[in-house]
């Protein structure tokens, strides 16, 4: 069966789901694919965030305007208009472009931020970094080049 759960935090004290969902089934021989397509009138990211839970693997590129917490595995590029937090057990194989990034897990790929990049003690990054500010805690592993103070959009 297909379960789709989505909720948005609009303020500190209120949860609501203001989303229209359209479900469809695609039959491809013996395999059926279930899809949920959401339609939202208000695309504001004020107070909203996305989460990829542990045990979940995504193959493909992801684009989001809201905050994004990753605790699963992503094989593809990520573009975020806010902040990305890569949890301690998360694995990202692909390039990351965001305003701010905090890494506690593993990243194999380049990271470009318009703001700050924080590598926590449990972080492992293999790739080049372009950022305005960089904070690396003792114990973090980083292998690659680093360019600070440059506008990542112009590179």
Provide the pLDDT for residue 50: 85
Provide the pLDDT for residue 1: 32
Residue numbers in the chain where pLDDT is lower than 50: 1-45
Provide the pLDDT for residue 46: 53
Provide the pLDDT for residue 47: 59
Q: Which stretches within 11-129 are classed as H helix?
A: none
DSSP 60: S
Residues whose CB is less than 8 angstroms from the CB of residue 116 and which lie 6 or more positions away in sequence, other chains included: 100, 101, 131, 132, 133, 134, 135
Provide the pLDDT for residue 49: 75
């Amino acid at each position: 069966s297909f379960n789709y759960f989505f909720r948005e935090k609009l303020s500190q004290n209120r949860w609501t789901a203001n989303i229209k969902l359209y479900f469809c089934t695609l039959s491809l021989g013996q395999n059926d694919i279930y899809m949920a397509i959401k339609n939202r009138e208000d695309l504001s990211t004020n107070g909203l965030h996305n989460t990829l839970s542990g045990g979940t693997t995504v193959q493909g590129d992801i684009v989001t305007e809201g905050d994004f917490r990753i605790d699963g595995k992503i094989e593809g590029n990520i573009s975020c208009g806010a902040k990305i937090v890569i949890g301690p057990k998360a694995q990202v194989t692909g390039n990351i472009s965001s305003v701010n990034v905090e890494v506690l897990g593993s990243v194999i790929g380049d990271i470009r931020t318009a703001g700050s990049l924080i590598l926590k003690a449990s972080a492992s990054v293999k790739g080049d970094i372009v950022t305005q500010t960089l904070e690396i805690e003792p114990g973090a592993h980083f292998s690659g080049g680093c360019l600070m103070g440059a506008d990542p959009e112009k590179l």
